Structure 1
Amino acid sequence: MKRNVPIARQESLVVPDVQNPFVHRLHFGILDKIQIVIMSVTVAPLRLLMAGMCLVLAWPLAALSLAFRTEEEKRKPLTGWRNVLRPLIVVLCRGVFFMGGFHWIRVRGQRATAKDAPIIALAPHSTFFDALTDVFLDLTTVVAKAESEKVPIFGTLIQFTQPVFVRREDPNSRAVTIQQIRERGQSGGAWPQVLIFPEGTCTNRSCLITFKPGAFYPGVPVQPVCLRYFNKLDTFTWTWDGPKAFACLWYTFCQFNNQVEIEFLPVYNPSEEEKNDARLFAHNVRAVMAKHLNCPVTDHTYDDCRLMVRAARLKLPMEAGLVEFQKLHQKLGVNSKQMQGYLEKFCKIAKSGQINLEEFASYLHLPKSQALEEVFALYDRDNSGTIDFREYVIGLSLVSGPANSNDTVQFAFQLFDTENQGHISREGFTQILCNAFKMNTQDVQVLFDKVDCDNDDKISFDEFKAYAEEKPEYAKLFKTYHELVQGNGHVENNGTPPKAKFD
């Protein structure tokens, strides 16, 4: 049977080129394994020891520079004697990476001054080793998670950069962070440059995900900086689904040499339109960097990572939660709380991260039929024969949501209320579903009991509407039935619309 898929494949809702930028797999060859074994008992422990010594030496110097600051001093750049130790701290921090095998760092382009480009946007962000860039920039200001402040040794060194801390769980943190970035960005070079990873989370460098607008709200010139790693075995990448932090660290220490390139692109001066629209500014800077890196862009964000984690907790594959949340939020108006609710609902239907026709039918307590297949096809946007979570969200928003109107629910209720009693009897419910949707009597009884919440052997309008809202997929079936009745002008005596209309 030819399946019709009438939902327009808008460019804004097509499946991204990169399905999962948050996964990384290491594939070791025989020689790689031999090298890691040998290096693990020879060079790597020495590298770890020497790198640790550099950290331990840098830490008290940074702590001394930050000691006894007043609240007023904390709101100003480090100056005077507090900044005297910076060159030594930077040398020791560079020593950490040198001892870890980062012997060759290629630098291309020229770094702009803080006055010419107050903000540096670095991408792609794929690993904690990206901190090397900040060390190379003489420990300029960074934007970091608030939790990093409490990390022993590293927390003090991060504080030495006078960072802008982000508290993701604090609803007011976003406004405070933007204000601090704006103040520093518009200081005319008084503050050091602010180094920002606009992607906001680590990816596998296969694409550039959505740039958060925080770095672009000040409307000041930004210098894009591209970061590349060249080792054949990518032990650097640290994503949500992949090797853990210590594994990445150890495997990297077991490499003979770790090759990195830092490339400064020309300063991007925003137009008046971009100054007034931070998201447009961010989008255009990302486009410049993606073109230079020759990689695609996607609309994945940190919210997708949270959905991945939620999916894993629901015993679904982690990638099931990847939907390009920001895109769906903008195009469909679905917020984070709704998306998590959809994911929990999806989990009840899907057994393996995909919904097939059998599972769809079972969820709706309906037998497989041509009518059901047509509704399934509306959700199955790529005609793969299954519905993933992204397709499910789009289907609910573009198919079931609009169909689940008060008029549709009212019509469906009146359709089942065959005797105009103001409620649906078990007999009327059975007659319509058995005849119109070919359900067997046993399945109808089960469904009736689910809808009849107060167990009074009749379904009120409120009960009917509540169930329709819980399972809006029914709305499209009711709407199809409604259209058949309107288009044909009558329903057959047994309650069944002419079958030809379903074809």
Structure 2
Amino acid sequence: MSSELKDLVGSNGSLDSQEESPHVGGGGGSSGKAKDERPLLKPGSAASEAANAATPSERLEELEKKYAPYVRKDAYGTMGRGELPPAEWVLLGIALVTLVPIRLVVGIFLVVLYYLICRLCTLFYAPNREDGKEDYAHMVGWRRVVVVRTGRFLSRIMLFVLGFYWIRESHRSFSFEDEHEQPDESERPEVIVSNHISYVDILYQMSSCFPSFVAKRSVARLPLIGIISKCLGCVYVQRESKSSKGVSGILTERIKEAHQNKLYPMMMLFPEGTTTNGNYLLPFKTGAFLAKAPVLPVILKYPYNRFSPAWDTISGKSSSCDYITVPC
């Protein structure tokens, strides 16, 4: 997206150079040059004034219309570089010396604690290594119970520490007039599809239903997080890999396994393929539907006053800093 934005800004901001390019970009000599028959605009003409009338703010409005799903509307502005009022700076200063240390210490403690729990539950238990995968999605018994229940509990505590004190959930059920249309147990959802707004989405889904996610293969090698992702039953993919199955094939196989074996966790997919500001839905990728398994759609919304949790145009570093700094 950044390259497209830069290209668009460049084309809107260099109209004069583009109009002059036919005069200097022709053949090797003067005879090979293509003559430009377009009339030159006089400095005082109406057309020239109209061409120069596009102010930076107007060009910004055009960008916001074209890239509406990525426009940041909170007090921190585009890319988190907006001008904050003095009162906001005072709040940030207070939070920096009071709230940030608490969130850092408690957050690290929760991650380390859950890592130790996952490490304990996976002792003397061989992971699944089929087709280069390595996960504990097939884990059963007390190990699975401990991993799931502690994971859901600690994820909710982590959300509370980050300022998500109340989470409101609403469920919509559908009535079936014909009793033959009632879904049976075999048609229970095996795939959850959701809009993607922030990496906090993962914490919420863990606290809600503890599904499996799709992750880069490098995530499995991360300290602390690696073993946690394996206990989640994450499907590791490598987009540049030349595997015959491909990403869609791996997902389809995993979804079918979850549909056949109810002990497997559900798959959590973000079919948009990227994060937005939460006000729009992008066209879906088809990977979530190739297995033809029942799908549960979920919509996430983050009401906010000053700071939007959305990871849209803001960088990951700035977003992480704001999460632990902004009071709520």
> Which category of TM-score, normalised to the shorter sequence, fits these structures?
0.5 to 0.7
Shift of 1:43: 1.1
The Cα RMSD (Å) is 3.0
Structure 1 stretches of 4+ moved >3 Å: 15-18, 20-24, 71-76, 110-115
Q: Which residue of 1 aligns with 2:155?
A: 93
1:107 to 144, 166, 169: 169
Q: Which has the higher contact order (CA 8 A, sep 6+)?
A: 2
1:182–1:217 Cα contact (<8 Å) kept: no
1:18-72 deviation line (CA, Å, top 9, x unaligned) = 4264464133333222211211111122112111111111111112223333355
Amino acid at match of 1:109: H
**Aligned counterpart, 1:40:** 96
1:251–1:235 CA distance, 2 compared to 1 (3 A): farther
CA contact (8 A) 1:142 1:163 kept: yes
Match of 2:253? Answer: 180
Q: CA deviation at 1:91?
A: 1.6
Q: Structure 1 length normalisation: TM-score?
A: 0.44
Contact kept in structure 1, 2:128 and 2:138, CA below 8 Å: no
Q: Distance in 2 between matches of 1:252 and 1:69?
A: 36
Structure 1 counterpart of 2:197, which letter? Answer: S
Q: What are the within-5 Å matches in structure 2 for residues 357-396 of structure 1?
A: none
1:202 deviation in Å? 1.7
Contact 2:210/2:265 (8 A) holds in 1: no
> For residues 110 and 68 of structure 1, what CA distance do their matches in structure 2 show?
43
1:121 aligned to which of 193, 200, 221 = 193
Secondary structure at 1:105's aligned position in 2? coil
Q: CA deviation at 1:248?
A: 1.3
Amino acid in the other structure paired with 1:189: K
Which of 139, 143, 152 is the aligned partner of 1:82? Answer: 143
Equivalent residue, structure 2, for 1:168: 239
Distance 2:247 2:192 in 1: 19
Give the equivalent residue in structure 2 for 1:210: 283
Q: Give the greater-gyration-radius structure (CA).
A: 1
Take 1:234 and 1:144, find their aligned partners in 2: how far apart are those partners?
27
Q: 1:463 matched to which residue of 2?
A: none
1:252 corresponds in structure 2 to 323
Contact 1:51 1:97 survives alignment (8 Å): no
The runs of 5 or more residues in structure 1 that have no matched partner are: 2-14, 258-503
Q: Which amino acid aligns with 2:112?
A: V
Residues 145/210 of structure 1: CA separation in 2 closer, same or farther (3 Å cut): farther
Question: Post-superposition shift, 1:16?
Answer: 11
**Matches of 2:219 and 2:127, distance apart in 1:** 20
Letter in 1 for 2:164: F
- Is the CA contact 1:145–1:167 (under 8 Å) kept in the aligned structure 2? yes
Partner deviation per Cα, 1:340-364 (whole Å, 9 max, x = no partner): xxxxxxxxxxxxxxxxxxxxxxxxx
Instruction: Read off the aligned partner of 1:102 and give its amino acid letter.
Output: F
Asked whether the equivalents of residues 114 and 193 of structure 1 are also in contact (C-alpha less than 8 Å), the reply is no
* Equivalent position amino acid for 1:243 in 2: I
In the superposition, the TM-score normalised over structure 2's length comes to: 0.65
SS of corresponding position for 1:101: coil
Deviations, residues 257-282 of structure 1 (Å, cap 9, x unaligned): 3xxxxxxxxxxxxxxxxxxxxxxxxx
Number of the residue aligned with 2:55: none
Conserved 8 A contact 1:48-1:100:
no
Number of equivalent positions: 242
> Given the superposition, is the C-alpha separation of residues 177 and 30 from structure 1 closer, same or farther in structure 2, using an over 3 Å criterion?
farther
- Distance in 1, Cα, partners of 2:163 & 2:67: 32
Alpha-carbon displacement from aligned partner over 1:68-99 (angstroms, at most 9, x marks no partner): 33355957522013213221232223222211
Post-superposition shift, 1:114?
8.7
1:211 offset after TM fit, Å? Answer: 1.2
**Deviation of the 1:195 alpha carbon:** 1.0
Name the aligned partner's letter for residue 216 of structure 1.
F
- Which residue in the other structure is 1:158 paired with? 229
Give 3-state SS (helix, strand or coil) of 1:215's partner.
Answer: helix
